[in-house]
Structure 1
C-alpha cells in the first residue's frame, strides 16, 4: 500500500495565495474526490503533484520519504500519472504508437519491433478489459471516450526508467467533460478495475453525481485552503456544496412555476433533416424550458446547430413566431434566435479579446455609427448592462476572456445571447465544465429568463440537469424526435430507458 502526503503546502502568485497550508493524503485502493469552485486551488494542486509548480512552503512525501518538489521526472518515477480532459492524440499514429509516446519503442536488431509494440499495447488494454480496441487503428478513429481509456491503459506499459515505480496514483482532472454517458460508464468501469488492482485515484470533477457514486473520500478546497476531508459516508451533496461555496445554496435547481396557461407557440419545427437528424418535429412555447435528450449521435446538438444555421438542412421547415425561419447564422440571430454553443473555448469565445468585444460580436451592425464606425462606448455600455444581468464577475468589460473562470466565461456567452432581446434561447450543454456555485447561478438565470416569457430549448447529456430544469423533455432516437414527456416526476432511470425504447411503465 502506498501513501502520498502533502503537508502544509503553500503557493503564491504575487498577492494571491493559490494554495495556503494545504494538507492532503492519497492512498492506494481508494478514489479520493477533490472538490472546489473554479479558483479554489485545484489546478495549482494538480500542477504541484505533477512537479510543474514548486511550492513556496511545505513538503510532499511518498511512504514517508520526501519527494523533490518541482521535478516532473521524479513525480513520474514515483508512480504518478495524470489524465486530463483535453487529450492530445498524435494524428496519423496508431493506437499502439500513441500509447508508447511516453515509452521507448521496443527494438530488435536496431529497428522498431512493431509486433512487440502492438503486443505490449494490447496487453495493457487487456488488463483493463479493453479487448475491443484495435491497437493498429489510427488513434483519431476512436471517439473521445475510447481515447481517454487508451490514455489510461498506456500508463500500464512498464516504465523503462531505472528505479521507476509502476503507476499507482492516477490524477483525473474533469475526465468526463467531453464524454457521453455511455463513454463515462466505460470510464467508471475502468476506474473500478484500477482500484481493484490497488491503484489510487484523485478524481477532480464538477459533476456531483459522479463524485457521490465513485468516491471513498472527499476533500474540499476553498480559496486555496482545506475546508474538509471526510469519508463519503460522513458527508453528502448539501454539505459539500456549502463547504465549496461558503454558503447554503439550498436546492440546486430553482422551483418550477405553479401551473399556468400554456404560452403561445414561438418555435415550430417540422420534419427537419440535417446531419444526423432524420425528421425532427417539435413545438416550443413562450416561457417554457424544453430539454433535448438522447444518446450520443441522436441529434440533440445537431438540432440546435441546424436551427441557428450552422448545419445545412436537407429537408424540413421551421417557423419562428409564425414566420418562416431564415437560413444562416446572421439571419437566425437577427430574427430572434440566440445560441450558446457546447464548446465555449473553441466555438464561442475569442479568448484573447475583451469581454465587451465578445458580447457585442453578433450585433456590430447595430452598434456602428453611420453604418461605418463601431461605437466603442455603446459596446462597453451594452457589455456592462448585460454583465450585471448575468452576474458576471470580472475586473471590467475590458478584461480578456481567457483570464476568467469557466463559469464566468459561460456567463459572457449568456450575456451575448441576451443582448439582442431574443424570442428563443438555444443552449447546448449550458453548464459544461462549470463549478457547482456558478452552475446554480446559471440555473437560476435560465429559469428566470423562462419566467419572463423567453422560450428555451436546451440540449444536455446531464440527466439531473434535464430533470431538474426542464418543463418537458423531448427524447431523440436515431435522428428523430421520438416522444416528448413532462419532466416533473420523471426519474433518471425512466428517462434513460426512453433513450432506447418507449416504455411508459418504466419509473
Structure 2
C-alpha cells in the first residue's frame, strides 16, 4: 500500500478534538477527543447509544459537529464534507454491504471509481485487471472478479469491498486510502470468513494503514487492537493501550457493571417434563438427530461453522423440509412456520434484519405479525389499539428503548431491534423458544438484558433451544449442550463445572472423530 504513510514518510495521524453533536434534546456526543494513527488497529467500544455511530458519521462528513474539529497531520479538515474525507484517505466499511445485483465483482468494486475506457467504451479487460490487482495486494488471488458479486459469501464481499479502496484513481493531491473504519465487520461472517478478514487487516496495518475497529465482540478486540477507546453516554471514558486494560475493565467502563454480573445467577434447577421431542430428525444439513427438550430447560447447541446449529432450529420451525418424528407437548409438530407459531413454538432468527424485522414498518407490526389471527376480530378486523397495547406491554418486559412503538424498526439500535424480536416471540406465549445467535451484534448492556430475560423465561417453564457460536454464552446460560458435527449429533454434556476449554475440546474432538 504505497502512499499510506504521511507526506513526510511518517504514519498519518488523524486528530479528533472536542467533537460534540446534539439531536434535539439528546446529547449524542459530548466533547469527544481521539487520535488515530496509521499502522495500528484502534478499537472503539461502547454500548448502543454510547455515541459510536455519531462519531463515525462526523468522521465520514455525513453530519457536522456542533463543536470541535478534525485535523490530519495538523491540517484542519472541513466538517460535513464527505468528498474531503475521502480525499484525506478515509474509507468506511459497514456490515451492510448492499452489493448491486447483476454486476460482477469487478463492476461492484468500481462503483466509487471511474470505469477505465478505450475509444470511448468501457475497457473491460482493464477493469477486471484493476480489480484483480487490488485483491492481490490483500493477498487474495483465488477470487474470479468476473463472477456476480451476489454469488459470493458475505466474507468475500467484505474483502472485495476493502480491496476496492486500493484501486488507484486518486485525484491530484488526494491521499491513497490509509484509514479504514470498520463497523461490526464480522457480524454476518462465518468463523472462516472472519479469519480471512483478520489476515487482511494484518496486511493493511503492516503496510502502514490504520483501522478503527468497531465491534461488540470482545475476543476480536483483544486479538486485533493495539489501543482501545471506550465511550459511554456520548462521553469519552478512556483510551488505553491494550496491555494496560483488559476485558473486565473494558466491560466495567462500558456498562458500569463487572464482568461477573453479565450472566444472571442460576436459581434452583427448573427442568421439568419433556415438552419437545425429535427422533430421527433429518433435513438439508442434518442427519438423524434425536433431541429431548424439557420445560424450563435451556439446551445449548454448539459446533463449528456448518455443523448444523441453525439448520436444526429452522427444521423444527418448518422453514426447512424435514423427515423424522417431532412432537410438541405430545402432539405432532406442524411442518410450516404458521402451524409452529400456533402450537407454541417461537423463533428468533440469526439474521434479524433480513429474516426477522420489517425494517421500514412500525415496531407494532413486527411484534404482531405471526399473531394476526389471534389479535383480529372474527379473523377479519385487526385492532390497532390492541396491537399497540401488546407492543407497549411487551416492550416494557424486554426493556425496549424506543421513542414509541410507532417508530420504524430500522431506526433502532441493533440491541433494541433484537428486543423487538423477543417481544414478538413473547406475544405468542410460547412453550418453546428457538434462539439462533440471539446476541449477535448486540452490545454488552443489551446482552445482560437479554440473558436475564432468557433465564427468567426458563424459570417460568419455557423451554429454550439456544444455538450460539459464543461459547461463554452457551456455558453461562445452558443447562446442557448438544455438540453437532457435519449435521450429526456428536455428543451431549451437562454444563455444570464445564469450562470453555472443555467445550472447545469436545467440539474439536468431534471433528477429529
Aligned pairs for 1:48-447 within 5 A: 48-248=58-258, 250-257=260-267, 260=269, 263-313=272-322, 315-447=323-455
Using a 3 Å threshold, how does the CA distance of structure 1 residues 398 and 503 change in structure 2: closer, same or farther? Answer: closer
Q: Aligned partners of 1:214 and 1:379: how far apart in 2?
A: 45
Using a 3 Å threshold, how does the CA distance of structure 1 residues 261 and 255 change in structure 2: closer, same or farther? Answer: closer
Using a 3 Å threshold, how does the CA distance of structure 1 residues 64 and 193 change in structure 2: closer, same or farther? Answer: same
Aligned-residue CA RMSD (Å): 2.3
Unaligned stretches of 5+ residues in structure 1: none
* 1:436-490 CA-partner distances (Å, limit 9, x unpaired): 1001111111112112221111122223322322222222222222222333444
Equivalences, count: 503
Q: Aligned partners of 1:9 and 1:396: how far apart in 2?
A: 29
Using a 3 Å threshold, how does the CA distance of structure 1 residues 370 and 90 change in structure 2: closer, same or farther? Answer: closer
Using a 3 Å threshold, how does the CA distance of structure 1 residues 363 and 138 change in structure 2: closer, same or farther? Answer: closer
Q: Is the 8 A contact 1:104 1:160 kept in 2?
A: no
Q: Aligned partners of 2:118 and 2:256: how far apart in 1?
A: 60
Q: Aligned partners of 1:483 and 1:305: how far apart in 2?
A: 20
Q: Aligned partners of 2:86 and 2:337: how far apart in 1?
A: 47
* 1:84-117 CA-partner distances (Å, limit 9, x unpaired): 1011222222222222222223334444333333
Q: Is the 8 A contact 2:270 2:297 kept in 1?
A: no
Deviation, structure 1 residue 209: 1.5
- Higher alpha-carbon deviation: 40-49 or 131-140: 131-140
Q: Is the 8 A contact 1:291 1:457 kept in 2?
A: yes
Deviation, structure 1 residue 222: 1.7
Please give the secondary structure, in 2, of the residue aligned with 1:360: helix
Using a 3 Å threshold, how does the CA distance of structure 1 residues 248 and 293 change in structure 2: closer, same or farther? Answer: closer
Q: Is the 8 A contact 1:497 1:503 kept in 2?
A: no
Q: Aligned partners of 1:131 and 1:498: how far apart in 2?
A: 35
Please give the secondary structure, in 2, of the residue aligned with 1:485: strand
Q: Aligned partners of 1:368 and 1:77: how far apart in 2?
A: 56
> What does residue 20 of structure 1 align with?
30
Q: Is the 8 A contact 1:294 1:476 kept in 2?
A: yes
Q: Is the 8 A contact 2:231 2:254 kept in 1?
A: yes
Deviation, structure 1 residue 187: 0.9
TM-score by length of 1: 0.93
Q: Aligned partners of 1:126 and 1:43: how far apart in 2?
A: 31
Q: Is the 8 A contact 1:337 1:424 kept in 2?
A: yes
Indicate whether 1:482 and 2:470 are aligned: no
> What does residue 14 of structure 2 align with?
4
* 1:203-237 CA-partner distances (Å, limit 9, x unpaired): 00111121122111111112222111111122222
Q: Aligned partners of 2:144 and 2:383: how far apart in 1?
A: 57
- Among candidates 454, 475, 480, match of residue 467 of structure 1: 475
Please give the secondary structure, in 2, of the residue aligned with 1:338: strand
Using a 3 Å threshold, how does the CA distance of structure 1 residues 426 and 122 change in structure 2: closer, same or farther? Answer: same
* 1:119-150 CA-partner distances (Å, limit 9, x unpaired): 33222222222122222222222110111111
Q: Aligned partners of 1:236 and 1:142: how far apart in 2?
A: 36
Using a 3 Å threshold, how does the CA distance of structure 1 residues 371 and 80 change in structure 2: closer, same or farther? Answer: closer
Q: Aligned partners of 1:197 and 1:283: how far apart in 2?
A: 53
Q: Aligned partners of 1:90 and 1:261: how far apart in 2?
A: 50
Q: Is the 8 A contact 1:94 1:139 kept in 2?
A: yes
Q: Aligned partners of 1:23 and 1:150: how far apart in 2?
A: 32
TM-score by length of 2: 0.92
* 1:233-269 CA-partner distances (Å, limit 9, x unpaired): 22222222222224446432223445x4853221111
Deviation, structure 1 residue 500: 5.2
Q: Is the 8 A contact 2:289 2:489 kept in 1?
A: yes
